[in-house]
Amino acid sequence: MAKLTLDGLRKLREAQKTEFRKLPGHTHYILTCAGTACQSNKGEEIYNNLIAEAQKQGVGGKVQVIKTGCFGFCEKGPIVKVLPENFFYVEVQPEDAQDIIAVNVKQGKAVERLFCKKEDGSPVPPATGGADDLPPINFYQKQIRVVLRNCGVINPEIINEYIAKDGYISLEKSLFEWKPEDIINELKASGLRGRGGAGFPTWMKWDTTRKVSDPVKYVVCNADEGDPGAYMDRSTIEGDPHSIIEAMTVCGKAIGANTGYVYIRAEYPLAVRRLEIALAQAKDLGLLGKDILGSGFDFDIEIRLGAGAFVCGEETALLRSLEGKRGMPTPKPPFPAIAGLWGKPTVINNVETLANIPAILVRGGAWFASMGTEKSKGTKVFALTGKVQNSGLVEVPMGTTLREIIFEIGGGIKHGKKFKGVQTGGPSGGILTEKDLDTPIDYEGLASMGSMMGSGGMIVMDEDDCVVDVARFYMDFCVDESCGKCSPCRIGTSQILAILEKIAGGKGAEEDLDKLQAIGKAMQKASLCALGGTASNPTLSTVKNFHDEYLEHIRDRKCRAGKCKKLACFEIELEPCIGCGACAKKCPVNAITPVEGWTPPADGKKKKPPMVIDQAKCIKCAECFNNCKFAAVVRK
C-alpha cells in the first residue's frame, strides 16, 4: 500500500466522509457489537447469521454487516443497530437474524419485539437524528460521548472508517501547523487531567518532558486496567484503537519522542488484536514509522504485554516491567517525566486520557473545558456494574451526581431492593452512601467523601451486600496484588485482612475497629506507592459510614446480609412451610429433613410434614433460603 502524503490523507478523508455508509447498491447497514461482552454472548454467531440470512433471502448485495465497538449498554447486549432507519435492537439472539433481514431489510419495518422497552412495556422509538445518534433510552440521555465517540459507530478494524470520522486531523495539525508549544497550550486550555486516577494535568506532564534536554524520550500508554469491574480502557481500544495511536504520535511530536509503547494486559486478547491490526494499517499508510506524511518526523509504537499484575498500573512499576524487571514501584522523585523508561524522559498516560486528545485538538480546548466543573473539565467514563438495572459503560460530564448515574442512567437498584452504597475507584476507592448521592462527581469531590475517581469503576451495592464482606474482598485482592517491596503495604494489608476475617468469623472485638483505622492511616502515610497508600480506603470508608454494621458483627455476632457464613443461621418456620422439599433437594450436605413425628392438622390443609434444618450439618450456603418460594426459610 502506498504511503500517504498530507494531500493524499486529506483527499482520502474527504472521499471517505462522502462514501461513509453509502456503498453503491447498498440499502442497509447492520452494525453488530463486537466488544468482548457481546462477543462472549453469541455476538460472532449473530454476525455470521446476519450475513448468511441476507444471502439466503436474496439481499446479500444490498446489505453490509459491520462489526463495531461497544455501544455501552452492556446490560441489554448483544446489540444490533440497523441503518438508515436507526433501529436499535437489544438482547438479540442468533435466530433473530431471520426477522431482521425479512422484516427490517426487506420490508423496511421494525422488529419491535427487539426494541428496548420503557417501564410501561412500550417500545423505545429509534433515534430521529443522524446515523451516529443513539435511541432516546434513559441510559443514553445524560451521556456525552467523547472518549467513546467512535465506539458503536465505526469498524475498528478498518482505518478508513476512523479517517472518515476526523481521524488523524490532530496529527496533521501537529505535524504541519502547530509548534509543540501550541499543542501543549491547547491541552492546557482544555483542562484535561489524567484519567488513570491521580488527575494530574496532562499538559503539565507533557510540558515537563518537552523541556528536558535529552535526544531520547518515550511515550507510554498505560493499558494495564486491572480494577475489579472496570473495563473502560479495554473497550476503548477494542472500539477505537486509532484514537490511541494518533494521540501517542501527537504526544511524540509535542515532547520530541520517536518511540512509543502500549503496555496492555495479555488477558485482553481482543483489544490486543485490534491494536495490532490498527498499528499495521497506520504503518502501511505512512501514519506511523519513518517520515510520517512527508513531515520528516519519525515515530513508531510497539506493544508490550503485561502479565496481569495490578501493581503495574502504577507508573514506575509499569516502567520497570517494560524494562524486563519485576514490576515494583520506585520512589519519586525523580518523576518519569524527567527520568522514566531506561532513565529517559517519559510521558505515561492511560487509554482514556489519550482517547480525549484527538477530539480536543480537532474541536478545541475551549470546547472540552465547557463541560465539567471548575477544576475537573470534560467527561469521564465509568464502568457501572453491580446491583443496578442497567449496567454498562457510561460517559458523562464531570459534575454529574452519583444519583443521576445510578438512578437515572442506571435505572435504579435491581428487584426493587434498597440502595446501600457504591464503590468508586476500585480497590483504591471508598464506599459511598445515600448521603453522598447528590454530590457532583469530580476529583476533589470524591476525595472529600473518602473515595477517589480512580480509573472509573463504579460498583453498586444493595441491602443484601455486607460491607464487612466487601471490605474483606478488596483487602484480599490487595494482599494478593501487593508487590511486597514496602512493609506498610506488605504487612498492613495482611493485618487488616486478618482483622476483617476475625470480625466476619464472629470473633471480633470493638478495639479491632480502632486497630483498622490506625493501620489504615499508617499505610496512607508511609506506603511507597498508591496501591499501599489507598488499599485501606474501602475498609476505612465502611468503618466510618457503616459503623453500626461492624458493631452488629462484633456485639451481636450477626451479619444482616447473611454473607458472612460463620455468622449466618437459617431456620425453617413451620407455619408457612408446606413440606414441598425444594430446600432439601438444593441442600448440598443433606442437612434438611422432614420434621419427625409430625401429625397432620385436622383441617387437612397440610398433607406433608414441614422441613427442619440440622444446624450441625448446615454449611450456611443459603441455597435453601434462595430457593424457597413460600418465604418459609428465614435468615436469623
Task: Report how far Cα 537 is from the mean position of its chain's Cα atoms.
Answer: 20
Q: What pLDDT score does 83 carry?
A: 94
pLDDT digits (tens, 9 = 90+) for 148-162: 999 999 999 999 999
pLDDT digits (tens, 9 = 90+) for 244-273: 999 999 999 999 999 999 999 999 999 999
Adjacent-strand bridge partners of 396: 380
Q: What pLDDT score does 603 carry?
A: 78
The arithmetic mean of pLDDT across residues 163-184, rounded, is: 96
Residue at a domain's end among 314, 335, 368? 368
Would you place residue 1 in the very low, low, confident or very high pLDDT band (cuts 50, 70, 90)?
A: low
In a domain, 148, yes or no: no
The arithmetic mean of pLDDT across residues 30-46, rounded, is: 94
Would you place residue 426 in the very low, low, confident or very high pLDDT band (cuts 50, 70, 90)?
A: confident
Would you place residue 620 in the very low, low, confident or very high pLDDT band (cuts 50, 70, 90)?
A: confident
Q: What pLDDT score does 199 carry?
A: 85
Question: Is pTM, for the whole model, over 0.75?
Answer: yes
Query: Do 540 and 576 lie in a common domain?
Result: no
The yes-or-no verdict on residue 348 having pLDDT over 80 is yes
Helices (H) and strands (E) in the chain, counts: 26, 17
CATH for 495: 1.20.1440.230
Q: How far apart are the C-alpha atoms of 508 and 622, rounded to whole Å?
A: 23
- Dihedral over Cα of 273, 277, 283, 284: its sign: positive
The yes-or-no verdict on residue 279 having pLDDT over 70 is yes
- Dihedral over Cα of 438, 444, 448, 450: its sign: positive
Q: What pLDDT score does 597 carry?
A: 86
The yes-or-no verdict on residue 454 having pLDDT over 80 is no
In a domain, 4, yes or no: no
The arithmetic mean of pLDDT across residues 452-469, rounded, is: 89
* Summary mean pLDDT of the chain: 93
CATH for 435: 3.10.20.600
Q: How far apart are the C-alpha atoms of 347 and 208, rounded to whole Å?
A: 9
User: Residue 518 is part of which domain span?
Assistant: 467-555
Query: Do 163 and 287 lie in a common domain?
Result: yes
The arithmetic mean of pLDDT across residues 568-575, rounded, is: 88
CATH for 39: 3.40.30.10
Adjacent-strand bridge partners of 259: 218, 300
Q: How far apart are the C-alpha atoms of 58 and 60, rounded to whole Å?
A: 6
- In this structure, the chain runs to a length of 636
Query: Do 413 and 323 lie in a common domain?
Result: no
The yes-or-no verdict on residue 186 having pLDDT over 70 is yes
Q: How many domains does the chain have?
A: 5
pLDDT digits (tens, 9 = 90+) for 519-542: 999 999 999 988 888 899 999 999
The yes-or-no verdict on residue 408 having pLDDT over 90 is yes
pLDDT digits (tens, 9 = 90+) for 76-126: 999 999 999 999 999 999 999 999 999 999 999 999 999 999 888 889 989
